[in-house]
Amino acid sequence: MNPTINLLKSHRSIRKFKDQQIPRQLLEALIQAGQSAATSNHVQAYSIIHVVNPANRQRIAELAGGQPYVANSSDFLVFCADMKRSTDAAERAGAEVVRGMTEQLLVASIDAALMAQNVLIAAESAGLGGCYIGGIRNNPQDVSDLLKLPDNVYPVFGLCLGYPDQNPEVKPRLPLAAILKQDYYDDAEDQALVARFDDTMARYYSQRTGSNKSTNWSEQLKPLFTSKLRPHMKAFLNKRGFGLK
Protein backbone atom coordinates (compact mmCIF):
# COMPACT_ATOMS: atom_id res chain seq x y z
CA MET A 1 0.00 0.00 0.00
CA ASN A 2 2.56 2.59 1.17
CA PRO A 3 5.86 2.41 3.12
CA THR A 4 4.25 3.11 6.52
CA ILE A 5 1.56 0.44 6.11
CA ASN A 6 4.24 -2.00 4.90
CA LEU A 7 6.29 -1.16 7.99
CA LEU A 8 3.30 -1.79 10.28
CA LYS A 9 2.55 -5.10 8.61
CA SER A 10 6.15 -6.30 8.93
CA HIS A 11 6.23 -6.06 12.73
CA ARG A 12 7.67 -8.94 14.72
CA SER A 13 9.01 -9.01 18.24
CA ILE A 14 12.79 -8.67 18.46
CA ARG A 15 14.43 -10.26 21.51
CA LYS A 16 18.08 -10.39 20.43
CA PHE A 17 19.97 -7.16 19.97
CA LYS A 18 23.35 -5.92 18.81
CA ASP A 19 25.59 -4.41 21.45
CA GLN A 20 24.89 -0.89 20.29
CA GLN A 21 23.32 1.98 22.19
CA ILE A 22 20.46 4.08 20.79
CA PRO A 23 21.76 7.66 20.38
CA ARG A 24 20.12 9.99 22.88
CA GLN A 25 18.83 12.26 20.11
CA LEU A 26 17.05 9.36 18.41
CA LEU A 27 15.63 8.10 21.71
CA GLU A 28 14.17 11.54 22.40
CA ALA A 29 12.67 11.67 18.89
CA LEU A 30 10.97 8.31 19.57
CA ILE A 31 9.50 9.59 22.84
CA GLN A 32 8.29 12.78 21.16
CA ALA A 33 6.64 10.68 18.47
CA GLY A 34 5.01 8.76 21.33
CA GLN A 35 3.75 11.94 22.95
CA SER A 36 2.09 12.91 19.68
CA ALA A 37 -0.40 10.05 19.99
CA ALA A 38 -3.99 10.90 20.80
CA THR A 39 -4.70 11.23 24.53
CA SER A 40 -8.02 11.19 26.34
CA ASN A 41 -9.07 14.80 27.07
CA HIS A 42 -5.42 15.87 26.64
CA VAL A 43 -4.61 14.26 30.03
CA GLN A 44 -1.40 12.56 28.77
CA ALA A 45 -1.72 10.07 31.61
CA TYR A 46 1.69 8.40 31.30
CA SER A 47 5.31 8.56 32.36
CA ILE A 48 8.23 6.55 31.05
CA ILE A 49 11.11 5.26 33.16
CA HIS A 50 14.23 4.76 31.06
CA VAL A 51 16.01 2.08 33.09
CA VAL A 52 19.74 2.58 32.63
CA ASN A 53 21.18 1.12 35.85
CA PRO A 54 22.41 -2.41 34.89
CA ALA A 55 21.60 -3.97 38.28
CA ASN A 56 18.01 -2.71 38.05
CA ARG A 57 17.65 -4.06 34.52
CA GLN A 58 18.94 -7.44 35.68
CA ARG A 59 16.49 -7.38 38.58
CA ILE A 60 13.53 -6.49 36.33
CA ALA A 61 14.56 -9.26 33.90
CA GLU A 62 14.15 -11.70 36.81
CA LEU A 63 10.96 -10.10 38.16
CA ALA A 64 9.43 -10.38 34.67
CA GLY A 65 9.80 -14.14 34.80
CA GLY A 66 13.34 -14.52 33.48
CA GLN A 67 13.45 -12.48 30.28
CA PRO A 68 17.16 -11.84 29.61
CA TYR A 69 16.51 -9.30 26.81
CA VAL A 70 15.26 -6.87 29.47
CA ALA A 71 18.89 -6.67 30.56
CA ASN A 72 20.49 -7.25 27.14
CA SER A 73 18.50 -4.92 24.87
CA SER A 74 20.07 -1.59 23.93
CA ASP A 75 17.52 0.35 25.94
CA PHE A 76 14.70 -0.61 28.25
CA LEU A 77 11.68 1.59 28.96
CA VAL A 78 8.90 1.07 31.49
CA PHE A 79 5.61 2.66 30.43
CA CYS A 80 3.61 3.79 33.44
CA ALA A 81 -0.02 4.78 33.65
CA ASP A 82 0.21 8.09 35.50
CA MET A 83 -2.84 9.64 37.12
CA LYS A 84 -0.66 11.56 39.58
CA ARG A 85 0.62 14.42 37.43
CA SER A 86 -2.76 15.46 36.03
CA THR A 87 -4.79 15.06 39.24
CA ASP A 88 -2.10 16.88 41.24
CA ALA A 89 -2.19 19.71 38.67
CA ALA A 90 -5.98 19.98 38.92
CA GLU A 91 -5.68 19.95 42.72
CA ARG A 92 -3.12 22.75 42.74
CA ALA A 93 -5.49 24.72 40.49
CA GLY A 94 -8.14 24.43 43.20
CA ALA A 95 -10.13 21.32 42.30
CA GLU A 96 -11.36 18.82 44.88
CA VAL A 97 -10.13 15.79 43.05
CA VAL A 98 -11.71 12.32 42.95
CA ARG A 99 -9.17 9.56 42.38
CA GLY A 100 -9.35 5.79 42.10
CA MET A 101 -12.18 5.43 39.58
CA THR A 102 -12.15 2.34 37.34
CA GLU A 103 -12.54 4.70 34.39
CA GLN A 104 -9.28 6.44 35.35
CA LEU A 105 -7.50 3.08 35.27
CA LEU A 106 -8.77 2.59 31.72
CA VAL A 107 -7.94 6.14 30.58
CA ALA A 108 -4.37 5.94 31.88
CA SER A 109 -3.70 2.38 30.68
CA ILE A 110 -5.04 3.17 27.20
CA ASP A 111 -3.16 6.49 27.02
CA ALA A 112 0.06 4.64 27.90
CA ALA A 113 -0.61 1.96 25.26
CA LEU A 114 -1.36 4.45 22.46
CA MET A 115 1.81 6.39 23.19
CA ALA A 116 3.94 3.23 23.52
CA GLN A 117 2.75 1.95 20.17
CA ASN A 118 3.86 5.22 18.56
CA VAL A 119 7.28 4.83 20.20
CA LEU A 120 7.66 1.28 18.87
CA ILE A 121 6.55 2.23 15.35
CA ALA A 122 8.91 5.21 15.33
CA ALA A 123 11.68 2.87 16.49
CA GLU A 124 10.92 0.33 13.77
CA SER A 125 10.87 3.10 11.17
CA ALA A 126 14.42 3.95 12.24
CA GLY A 127 15.67 0.38 11.84
CA LEU A 128 15.29 -0.60 15.48
CA GLY A 129 13.25 -3.51 16.83
CA GLY A 130 11.67 -4.30 20.13
CA CYS A 131 9.24 -6.25 22.25
CA TYR A 132 6.77 -5.39 24.96
CA ILE A 133 7.28 -6.93 28.40
CA GLY A 134 3.88 -7.52 30.02
CA GLY A 135 5.79 -9.76 32.42
CA ILE A 136 6.56 -6.77 34.64
CA ARG A 137 2.99 -7.26 35.88
CA ASN A 138 4.12 -10.60 37.36
CA ASN A 139 5.65 -8.61 40.20
CA PRO A 140 4.28 -5.10 39.82
CA GLN A 141 4.90 -4.07 43.42
CA ASP A 142 8.60 -5.00 43.32
CA VAL A 143 8.99 -3.21 39.97
CA SER A 144 7.22 -0.16 41.41
CA ASP A 145 9.51 -0.15 44.46
CA LEU A 146 12.61 -0.46 42.30
CA LEU A 147 11.54 2.48 40.11
CA LYS A 148 10.25 4.46 43.14
CA LEU A 149 6.83 4.91 41.56
CA PRO A 150 4.53 7.06 43.70
CA ASP A 151 0.84 6.39 44.31
CA ASN A 152 -1.45 6.87 41.30
CA VAL A 153 1.28 5.59 38.97
CA TYR A 154 1.60 1.92 37.97
CA PRO A 155 3.90 0.07 35.54
CA VAL A 156 1.79 -1.14 32.58
CA PHE A 157 4.48 -2.86 30.53
CA GLY A 158 8.12 -2.61 29.57
CA LEU A 159 9.59 -2.15 26.10
CA CYS A 160 12.94 -3.55 25.01
CA LEU A 161 14.45 -1.57 22.14
CA GLY A 162 17.61 -1.92 20.10
CA TYR A 163 19.30 -2.85 16.86
CA PRO A 164 18.02 -6.30 15.81
CA ASP A 165 20.47 -9.20 15.86
CA GLN A 166 17.89 -11.70 14.59
CA ASN A 167 15.37 -11.83 11.76
CA PRO A 168 12.30 -13.77 12.93
CA GLU A 169 9.28 -14.41 10.73
CA VAL A 170 6.11 -12.38 10.96
CA LYS A 171 3.63 -14.34 13.10
CA PRO A 172 0.21 -14.99 11.51
CA ARG A 173 -2.87 -13.20 12.78
CA LEU A 174 -6.53 -14.23 13.04
CA PRO A 175 -8.51 -13.98 9.77
CA LEU A 176 -9.73 -10.43 9.14
CA ALA A 177 -13.29 -11.76 8.87
CA ALA A 178 -13.20 -12.76 12.54
CA ILE A 179 -11.93 -9.37 13.75
CA LEU A 180 -13.91 -6.98 11.51
CA LYS A 181 -17.66 -7.29 11.90
CA GLN A 182 -20.35 -5.15 10.29
CA ASP A 183 -22.92 -3.41 12.48
CA TYR A 184 -23.29 -6.28 14.97
CA TYR A 185 -21.14 -8.77 16.84
CA ASP A 186 -22.15 -11.79 14.84
CA ASP A 187 -20.02 -14.74 15.91
CA ALA A 188 -21.78 -17.38 13.82
CA GLU A 189 -18.68 -17.76 11.67
CA ASP A 190 -16.12 -17.24 14.42
CA GLN A 191 -15.78 -20.89 15.39
CA ALA A 192 -15.00 -21.97 11.82
CA LEU A 193 -12.53 -19.10 11.38
CA VAL A 194 -10.77 -19.98 14.65
CA ALA A 195 -10.52 -23.62 13.47
CA ARG A 196 -8.95 -22.39 10.24
CA PHE A 197 -6.56 -20.24 12.23
CA ASP A 198 -5.65 -23.24 14.42
CA ASP A 199 -4.53 -24.98 11.21
CA THR A 200 -2.55 -21.90 10.14
CA MET A 201 -0.79 -21.74 13.52
CA ALA A 202 -0.15 -25.51 13.57
CA ARG A 203 1.66 -25.13 10.24
CA TYR A 204 3.53 -22.06 11.50
CA TYR A 205 4.70 -23.78 14.71
CA SER A 206 5.76 -26.95 12.87
CA GLN A 207 7.68 -25.09 10.16
CA ARG A 208 9.15 -22.00 11.76
CA THR A 209 12.88 -21.67 12.15
CA GLY A 210 13.91 -21.91 15.77
CA SER A 211 11.75 -23.81 18.23
CA ASN A 212 9.42 -26.12 16.28
CA LYS A 213 6.49 -27.58 18.17
CA SER A 214 3.25 -29.42 17.56
CA THR A 215 0.49 -27.14 18.80
CA ASN A 216 -2.02 -24.55 17.59
CA TRP A 217 -3.62 -21.29 18.73
CA SER A 218 -6.31 -22.78 20.97
CA GLU A 219 -3.86 -25.20 22.60
CA GLN A 220 -1.37 -22.40 23.23
CA LEU A 221 -4.02 -20.37 25.02
CA LYS A 222 -5.04 -23.13 27.45
CA PRO A 223 -2.39 -22.61 30.18
CA LEU A 224 -3.04 -18.87 30.04
CA PHE A 225 -6.69 -19.21 31.03
CA THR A 226 -6.78 -22.31 33.24
CA SER A 227 -5.18 -20.49 36.16
CA LYS A 228 -6.08 -17.14 37.66
CA LEU A 229 -4.08 -14.75 35.52
CA ARG A 230 -1.94 -12.49 37.75
CA PRO A 231 -4.45 -12.67 40.63
CA HIS A 232 -2.49 -10.03 42.59
CA MET A 233 -3.39 -7.25 40.10
CA LYS A 234 -6.62 -6.14 41.75
CA ALA A 235 -5.11 -5.68 45.22
CA PHE A 236 -1.97 -4.15 43.73
CA LEU A 237 -3.89 -1.54 41.71
CA ASN A 238 -6.06 -0.79 44.71
CA LYS A 239 -3.04 -0.19 46.91
CA ARG A 240 -1.45 2.11 44.31
CA GLY A 241 -4.46 4.39 44.18
CA PHE A 242 -6.22 2.80 41.20
CA GLY A 243 -9.07 1.83 43.47
CA LEU A 244 -11.40 0.22 40.91
CA LYS A 245 -14.22 2.36 42.30
CB of 245 to a second copy, least distance (A): 7
Is 48 a binder of a second copy (CB under 8 A)?
yes
Asked whether 49 and 122 are in contact (CB, 8 A), the reply is no
Task: With H, G, I as helix, E, B as strand and everything else as coil, classify residue 152.
Answer: coil
Q: Which is nearer to a second copy, 72 or 140 (CB)?
A: 140
Is 188 a binder of a second copy (CB under 8 A)?
no
CB atoms within 10 A of CB 70: 28
CB of 187 to a second copy, least distance (A): 7
Is 18 a binder of a second copy (CB under 8 A)?
no
CB atoms within 10 A of CB 61: 23
User: Which residues in 180-206 are b (16+ Cβ under 10 Å) and which e?
Assistant: eeeeeeeeeebeebbeebbeebbebbe
CB of 204 to a second copy, least distance (A): 10
Is 192 a binder of a second copy (CB under 8 A)?
no
Radius of gyration of the chain (CA): 20
| Stated length of the chain | 245
204 vs 12, 94, 171, 191, 221, CA distance in Å? Answer: 14, 57, 8, 20, 16
Is 180 a binder of a second copy (CB under 8 A)?
yes
Q: Which of residues 57-116 bind a second copy (CB under 8 A)?
A: 80, 84-99, 101-104, 106-107, 109-110, 113-114, 116
Q: Which stretch binds a second copy (CB under 8 A): 15-23, 51-59, 66-74, 160-168?
A: 51-59
Task: With H, G, I as helix, E, B as strand and everything else as coil, classify residue 38.
Answer: coil
CB of 57 to a second copy, least distance (A): 10
CB of 130 to a second copy, least distance (A): 9
Is 208 a binder of a second copy (CB under 8 A)?
no
